[in-house]
Each structure stands twice: as C-alpha cells, then as structure tokens.
Amino acid sequence: MSLGHDILDRLFSWAAIQTDGTFWMPVQASAGAEPVDRVFSFIFWVSVFFFVLIVALMVAFVVRYRRRPGREDAEDSAHHSTALELTWTLIPIAIVVFIFAWGFKVYLDLNTPPANSYEILVTGQKWKWLFTYPNGHVDENLHVPLDTPVRLVMTSEDVIHGFYIPAFRLKRDVVPGRYVKVWFRAIKPGEYQIYCTQYCGTGHSDMWAKVVVHEPGGFERWLDEASNFLKTMSPAEAGEKLYRTRGCAQCHSVDGTGGTGPTFRALFGHPVPLEGGKTVTADEDYIRESILDPQAKIVLGFQPVMPTFQGRLKDQEITAIIEYVKTVK
C-alpha cells in the first residue's frame, strides 16, 4: 500500500476495525484482494484531491468574498468561460475513463478461473450456507487449501442470497434456479468471515460462516477427518451434524417451534397422533421408516411433503440421526 495509506493507518489506528487490515480495508487474504485495493486506493486519492479542491475553494471564496460593509455587491467577472468549462468537463472525463478501464480489467481477471481449479458446491438457504466437497462431505464452513485456485459453484434453495468474503474482496448473488461460479486463490492462512449480503428475511444477518484457509497439507488432513466424523464423533454428535447439514433442520425444529414438519423436541418415546386417527409411539423403527418412507405415516396436522432419503443417507447415518433425536428433550 502507498505511503499515504500508512499515514492514514497511523492517524486512525485507534479507530481501526481489524488490526491486520488498514483503516479502509480488511486484510488481504486472496490473490484478488491486492489488485482491487490498488484501484480503491487510486480512486480514493483522486476523490481526496477533488474534495479538498472543492472545499478549499469554497472556504476561500466565503472568507474572501463574504458580504460586509463596503462589499455589498459582487465584483465584475465573466458569466461563463467556454474554455474553462470544457477544461473541467474533459479532465474529469479522462480520469473516469481511466478508472473505468482499470476497474473493468481487474474485474475480468478475477472472473476468469484458471483450469484445474478445486471445485466446491455452495448452497444458500434460509439462513445458512452449506459447502459440499468433491468426496460428498457437507460442511457448514468453507475449508480451502492455501495457494490453490478454488472454484465455487453456487445455487440457492429458496430466495436470492449474497455470498461475500470481505477478506477475499469476493461477492456474488446466489440465485435460485441458476448456478453461478466464482473463484479465488487464498494466500494467507487463517479464518475469515463469510456474510450473506442479499437481504433474505428474518435470519439474514445470522447467515454467517467462516472460510478456513489451511496451511499446506492441512486441508487434506481436515477433509479426511471431517469426512469420517461418523467414526470420530459419538453417534449423537454425528447425528446433530447430519441434522444441520442434510436438510432436516429446515423443517424440523429442536426447540418446539412449528415448521413444515413436526418438531423433534420431546419426540422420542412419546405417542404421535397420525392422520386417520391412529397413534404410534416414536421409537427407532418409526423414525427410520419416516426417513426412508416418509409417506407411510403422516403426523396429524402436517402435509405429506417430505421427500424420501432412501439412497441419500447410509444406515450408519440414519442410526446417528436417531441417536441425536433421542437427545432432544
């Protein structure tokens, strides 16, 4: 960054939002951040120049030409000057054409992913992000290897969301019914914030996640371990993870609030009234059947809208979910 920014940083260090960023910008954690910040910096100093010019002239004129006794009237001066006016039309045109061209070039570079990028699927839904890795593992945070081009293929399950990583200077709306692609190359290990920037309702401002940039070798280790969570976690813990990442949480609450489906709270071991007047006790077999053949028994007051998870969840995963449901008191 330029000398000017260093001075600003020192002047405003008391006000800095993040210690590792500058007064204006967050930390540069992707290869794309620096070129963007250079454009920002240029526009910033152009703006400072013109702003100071305008305000200085304004203040100087007010001081010098203020109305006072003996100065009731204006002095004679030109009503227009085509040369002058053309000057302050053409110079700004030249400057903005330059800014436009630079801004476009950097934008294009950042929109052209290199071949052989590592691909991760991103799903936006009210109100969280899910990241699906090539081996099928689904996580709530984005984990990426250092210095590797990563391509995100993103879609939304409901309304428009906005995927944003400030530290990467990366943002794109995630639109239902479409796949949008962005890419980045992380250059600094650490954890950075992910936001939703397209307003999407009640939990819009809770749609936070982290992007974790791993040191060389760390990403592979993490993915290995994370994918094997059925082996490393207790069944109930693993079940909770599946509950959050495999779509259960969208319809079934765990705190008793209503949803598209019945809540899991105080479900296990309790009688469940069904459509048609029968009652069934929620045991392991009932839950397993409800996952694999949801239309077999419809709970009273609910619509038969749940899709089957036959082939989408392994036996071990279903068992883990049942163990989790048991813990939801």
Partner 1 sequence: MSSDAVNGAGANPVMGNTLGGDNYLTHGRGLKSWLFTLDHKRIGVMYLVSILSSFLLGGVFALLVRTKLLTPGNSAMMSADQYNQMFTLHGAVMIFLFVIPGIPAALGNFVLPLMLGAKDVAFPRLNLASYYMWVTGAVMALVSMTTGAVDTGWTFYTPYSTTTNTSVIMMVAGVFVLGFSSIFTGLNFVVTIHKLRPAGMSWFKMPLFLWGLYGTAIIQIMATPVLGITLLLLIAERALGVGIFDPALGGDPVLFQHFFWFYSHPAVYIMILPAMGVISELVSVFSRKHIFGYTFIALSSIAIAVISFLVWGHHMFVAGQSNLASMIFSALTFMVAIPSAVKVFNWIATMYKGSIWLATPMVYVLSFLFLFGIGGLTGLFLGALATDVHLHDTYFVVAHFHYVMFGGTVIAFLGGLHYWWPKMFGRMYSDRWGRIAALLIFVGFNTTFFTQFVMGSHGAPRRSYHYLPEFQRYHQLSTLGSYILGIGFVIVAANLIHSLFRGRPAPANPWGGATLEWRTTSPPPHDNFATTPVAGDPYDVEAWRYDRTIGGFVPRAAGDAPAAG
Residues in 185-214 at the binding interface with partner 1, rule: CB under 8 A: 193, 195-206
In the complex, least distance from residue 49 CB atom to partner 1, rounded to whole angstroms: 10
Q: Given the complex with partner 1, which of 17 and 296 has the nearer CB atom?
A: 17
Query: Which residues 72-91 are close enough to bind partner 1 by CB under 8 A?
Result: 72-81, 84-85, 88-89
Q: Given the complex with partner 1, which of 59 and 266 has the nearer CB atom?
A: 59
Check residue 100 for interaction with partner 1 (CB under 8 A): yes
Check residue 178 for interaction with partner 1 (CB under 8 A): yes
Among the listed residues 39, 146, 251, 272, the single contact to partner 1 using CB under 8 A: 39
Check residue 45 for interaction with partner 1 (CB under 8 A): no
Among the listed residues 1, 8, 9, 24, the single contact to partner 1 using CB under 8 A: 24
Burial class (CB in 10 A: 0-12, 13-18, 19+), 206: exposed
In the complex, least distance from residue 44 CB atom to partner 1, rounded to whole angstroms: 8
Question: Residue 277, Cα to own-chain centre: how many angstroms?
Answer: 46
**Euclidean distance between CA atoms 169 and 30, whole angstroms:** 8
Q: What is the dihedral of CA 255, 260, 264, 268, to 10 degrees?
A: 150
Query: Which residues 145-164 are close enough to bind partner 1 by CB under 8 A?
Result: 158-160, 162, 164
Check residue 257 for interaction with partner 1 (CB under 8 A): no
Check residue 305 for interaction with partner 1 (CB under 8 A): no
Check residue 71 for interaction with partner 1 (CB under 8 A): yes
- 298's CB contacts (< 8 A; 6+ apart) are 274, 275, 304
CA distances from 83 to 88, 91, 253 (A): 9, 12, 71
Q: Give the residue from 319, 303, 292 showing the smallest Cα distance to 262.
A: 303
Check residue 184 for interaction with partner 1 (CB under 8 A): no
Residue type at position 272: V
**Euclidean distance between CA atoms 325 and 328, whole angstroms:** 5
